[in-house]
Structure 1
Amino acid sequence: MNIGLKKVCEALLAHDRFLIITHQSPDGDTLGSGFGLYYGLKQLGKRARVVCSDEFPARYNFLFQDYQDDSFDPEFIVAVDLADKQLFGSQYASLADRVDICIDHHPSNTRYARGVLLKPKAAATCEIIYEVLKGMGVTFDERIGTCIYTGIATDTGCFRFSNTTVNSHRIAAHMMRYNVKIGKINRLMFETKTQSRIAIEQQVLNSIEYYFDNRCAMISVTGDMLKSTGATECELEGLSTLPRQIEGVQIGVMLREKENGDFKVSIRSNDGFDASKICGLLGGGGHVKAAGCVVKGGLENAKKVLIETIAQFV
C-alpha cells in the first residue's frame, strides 16, 4: 500500500526499535539512506541497526565510522532503496514479508512491504530520506549530511546523469552547510580505483562485443576474471556504465557471473530506449536508463537471451 510522507514520519516516531535493511551488493544510495536514517533515529533516542546480506564495502567506511551495532528484537522493519524481494539476499530473504515500510525511488518497486513510500521522480532514495528526517524534526549534522550527499552524488553520477533534478542540487547544497567534505567524497567515489579494479577493468574492456550496427555494446565479468585479478564484488561498482560511454552506443549491457553460474545483468541506455522494459521481459526492472535482471545458464546462453530480447526494441 502506498503511504504518504506524513504517515511514514508518524509511524517512525511511534516506534523505538528499528531494523533497517539495505539491498545486496550495496551502493552509495542504499548505504547513505540506511545510515542517514540510522543517525536520525539515534538522535531521536531510538535504537536501530543497519544490515545487509553482503558485507559493507570498505570504500564506504566513512559513512559508518560512528555506527554502533546493537543487538535487540526489532519492532519495526524498514527497507531502503530495495525495490524487490530478490534484492534482500540470502541472509535476510526471510524478512522480506515482514517489512513494515519500504522507502524507495525505483518505478519497478513490487510493493512487497506493508507500506511503501515511493517517489519515482527522485534521483536517489536519499532524497526521500532527507524529507523523512526533516518531517521527523531531526537536526541535520555532518554525519547525516555526508550520508545524504553520498547517496545523491553516487546515484546521479556526481550530478551528471539525466535523472539529476533541481531538487537533487537543492538537497545537496543544503547538506553542504554541515561541513560535508564533498571534495573528499567525490574523489573517493569517482576518481579513486584500486589496482585490482584497474586489472578487472582491463579484462572487461577486452571482452566488449558490439551488436545492432554498434548501437549495443556488451561486456562480461566472469568468475575466472575475478579470480585472476583479485577483484572483489564491491570493486565492480560503476563498470556497467562503461559500454554506454562509447560513441554511438545507445544500449550498454554488463553481464556479471554469480556463484551459481547465472548472470546478473545491468543495462544502461541513452535517449530513446527504456532499460526497464528490456529487463522487465526477463523478470527484472529498474529505471528508464538503468535497470537489471538475472539470466540463468552460462555466458553464451545469457548473451543469446539478451540479444534476442534487445532485438525487440532496436
Structure 2
Amino acid sequence: MKSRQISDIIKGKANELGLQDCAILPVEYLAEDKAHLDEWLGQQMNGEMHYMARNREKRVNPELLVENAKSIVVVLQNYYPAHTQEDSSAPVLSKYAYGTDYHFVLKDKLKLLLQFINDEIASCSGRPFVDSAPVLERAWARKAGLGWIGKNSNLISLEHGSFFFIGELILDIELPYDHPKLVTDHCGRCTKCIDACPTKAIVADRVVDARKCISYQTIEVKGEMDDTLKGQFENRVFGCDICQDVCPWNLKSEPHNEQAFEPHPKLLQLNNEDWNTMERPLFNELFRNSAVKRAGFKGLKRNLKFLRDG
C-alpha cells in the first residue's frame, strides 16, 4: 500500500470508532514542553498531584514508555452533551462526568485501533494512553495540528472547540506521518476564561495554578478543601466547566454520539434537595461506571458540604 492509503485507512478506522479527529506523528523528545513543565512544578502549582512530578522524563520521552517507540497516533473524542442538568439551582456536575468514565471508553477504542493496525497494516507492539499515564497529551495534540493551547491551558480546536478528550497510541513501527502546521493561536485579546474563573486559578496566560482550580479541589484533594476558597465555587460539586463554557470557540461544540457518555436517566433531573440528601445506594446507581467514582461517595458528600458552608 502507498503511504497515503495507509494513513487514510487508519484515520478511517478511527472515524468508524467514533473518534472526532486523528493524526499520526513520529515520536520525539519534547524539550520545550519539559521546560514549561519544570517551571510549573518548580512553583508547586501541582499541589497534591505528586504524580505530576514523578516520571518526569517519561512525560517528555515516549521511548521510555514503549520500547523502540517510533510513532504516536493522537485522537480526539467528543463529550459535549445534548442536554445538561435541568435544575439551575442544583450542584453542578462537570459535563465530562455525565456518563461512563472516559478512561474506559477511549482506551477500549484505542485498543481496537491498535488491533486493527496489527491486523491490517503491520505487526507491531504498542500501548494506548488516556490521561492515566505520564504523557503530555495536549503537547502532542498541538504538535499534531489538532488545535492550539488556549489561555485556560486547554487544547482548542478551530472545528470542535474544547469539549473533547485526548488519547494516544504509541507504537514501535514507522507509519506514514502527517506534516501539520501548528495551528495559530486564535485567542487574540479575549480574556473571557481568565475573567470568568471564580477562584482566579488562571494566574497567567496558559498557566493554571491547580491549587486554586475548582476541578482540582473537588477531585484531586483527598483531605479537606481550601477554606479560603469557600463561597467561590459557583455551585460546582465535581469538576468545573466555567472556563470552557464562556469560551467563544465552544459555540462550535456539537453533541457527541457516544452512547457510553449518555447520563443515567435520573441524573439530569436531580434537584438541589436530591443532591444534598443523596444516600449511597443512589450514588452507586447513578455513578456505577462514572469518573465521579474517583471522589467516591464520601468525597461527593464532602464537596456538597463545602458548597453549603460557603
What interval of TM-score do these two structures reach, taking the shorter chain for normalisation? under 0.3
Higher relative contact order (CA 8 A, sep 6+): 2
